[in-house]
Amino acid sequence: MMSTMHPSSSSLISEESILQTLQTALDQAPQEFKEAAPTLVANLTALANTGIVALKTLPFVAILKHCEDSSQVMSISNATEVVRSTQHVSVISNNQEAICIALTSNTVAPKEITDGIRHKLGGMGNGMLACSLVFGVVQVAITSYSLWNIWQAIKNARNVGRRCPQKMQEIQNMLDRIPPMFQHLNEIIVKLRREGLTQREITFIHADFDGIHGAINDDLTEILTEISDLEVIIGTSHIKLAQCRKQVVINGIGGASSGISGFANVGLLATFSNPVLLGITGVLAGINILLAVACATRYFCSEKELELLANKLEEVKAFRRDIANWQRDLRTKRLEVLSEIRKATAAIPE
C-alpha cells in the first residue's frame, strides 16, 4: 500500500529562529510580570530547545512503522525527504540506504536499525513533554500579557464598567494574582531542566506544573469572561464590551480544527508559515496606541477603540483555543511514541 504521508515543508528554518520568535514575544511582558519572574524567558527558552529538537524527530514514528511493516510503501520522493529531515540522528544517517529500501519496497529493515530508532524515541517522548509544557506556559503568558494590557487601556475609562465598581475591583484583584504564579512556573521549569531526572521525578514535576498552569488558566478564563461582559457606554447605549465587535476577526492561527489538526501538521512549527508562531506574535499587537492614551487623567474610550479591544478579546479566545488543540495533538503523538517504547521494552527477555 502506497503511503500518503507528506513530510514537512522544505522551507525549514532553524530552531534558533523559532526560539527567537518565542523570546521576542515573551520579552513583551508587562513590567509586573518581568519583576515577578525575571529569569522565566531564559529558562523557558532553554527548555524549548529540548522540545523543538524532539519535534524535528517526529518522522521517526512513520519511519519505524514503514521499516517494520512490509505492506507499507512510501514513494521515493517522500522517503528521500523523510530521511533527509532526520539526518542529524546517527541511526538514520549511518543506515540511509537500508532505510530507504525498507521505506520504498515490500521489505523490512534489519532489527538493529529498528531497535536504534526505538532507543531514540525514548528521549523524544520526554522532549515532546517539554515542548507541551513550553507552549502551555506560552499560552498563559500571551493571554496574561494581552488581558493585562487591555485592562490598562480600559480600567480608568469613564464609559467602561462605571455602574459596576465591584466587578472592576474583582477583575483587578484577579489580575494582580497572576504575576506571582509565573514565578512558581519558573521554579518548575528550573526543576525540569535538571540533568539525570528519573521518569518518576519528571511525572511529579509535570503534575506540579499542571496544578499551577490550571490555576492560572482558570483565572484567565474568568478574567476574559468578566472583561467581555463589562458594560460600556457609546452615546446613549449601554452594551457589553464583547458586543462592540463589528467585524469578523481573522484568527492569526487559522483555526486549529482545520489548520493544525492531524498531527503531521505539527511540522509547521519549523516553517515560515507556522500558524502557532503567527498567533503568538499577532495576538499581542494592536493596543499600544490605546495604552499610551490610557495614561491621560480624563480618559474616554471611543467607539472605534472599544471595537478594537473587543476584536482583541476575540483573538485572545481564538489563540487559547488553538494552542489547546495543538497541545492535544501533541499529547496524542506522544502516546504513540510511548506505545512504541513499551513494545521495545516488552520484547526484552527477562
CB-CB neighbours of 319 under 10 Å:
24
> What's the confidence (pLDDT) of residue 306?
85
Residue 2's DSSP bridge partners are: 73
The highest-confidence range among 177-186, 295-304, 324-333, by mean pLDDT, is 177-186
Q: How far is CA 229 from the centre of its chain?
A: 27
Average pLDDT over residues 210-214: 92
Of 260, 185, 179, residue with least CA distance to 220: 179
Residue 273 has pLDDT above 70, yes or no: no
pLDDT at 310: 87
- Lookup: cell for 71: 505492506
Higher pLDDT, 277 or 63: 63
Separation between Cα atoms, residue 326 and residue 318, nearest integer Å: 12
> Residue 71: what pLDDT?
82
Amino acid code (one letter) for 264: A
Q: What is the mean pLDDT of the chain?
A: 75
Q: Could you tell me if 311 and 228 are in contact, meaning their C-beta atoms sit under 8 angstroms apart?
A: no
Q: Does residue 276 surpass a pLDDT of 70?
A: no
Total residues found in the chain within this entry = 350
What is the pLDDT, as a whole number, of residue 1? 44
Of all residues in the chain, the percent with pLDDT exceeding 90 is: 14
Mean pLDDT lowest for which of 42-51, 99-108, 164-173, 283-292? 283-292
The whole-angstrom distance between residue 48's C-alpha and the CA centroid of its chain comes to 10
Which is it for the CA torsion 259, 264, 269, 271, positive or negative?
negative
Instruction: Supply the pLDDT for residue 134.
Output: 82
pLDDT band at 57 (very low <50, low <70, confident <90, very high): low
pLDDT tens digits, residue range 82-111? 787 777 778 888 888 888 888 888 888 888
253 — phi, psi (to 5°)? -85, -25
Range of lowest pLDDT (118-122, 163-167, 278-282, 307-311): 278-282
> Which tens digits make up the pLDDT trace of 175-203?
999 999 999 999 999 998 887 888 788 88
| Residue 328 pLDDT class (50, 70, 90 cuts) | confident
**pLDDT number for residue 13:** 40
The mean per-residue pLDDT over the stretch 261-275 comes to: 39
Q: How far apart are CA 37 and CA 16, in angstroms?
A: 23
Cell, residue 327: 497541545
Q: Which three cell numbers stand for residue 190?
A: 528550573
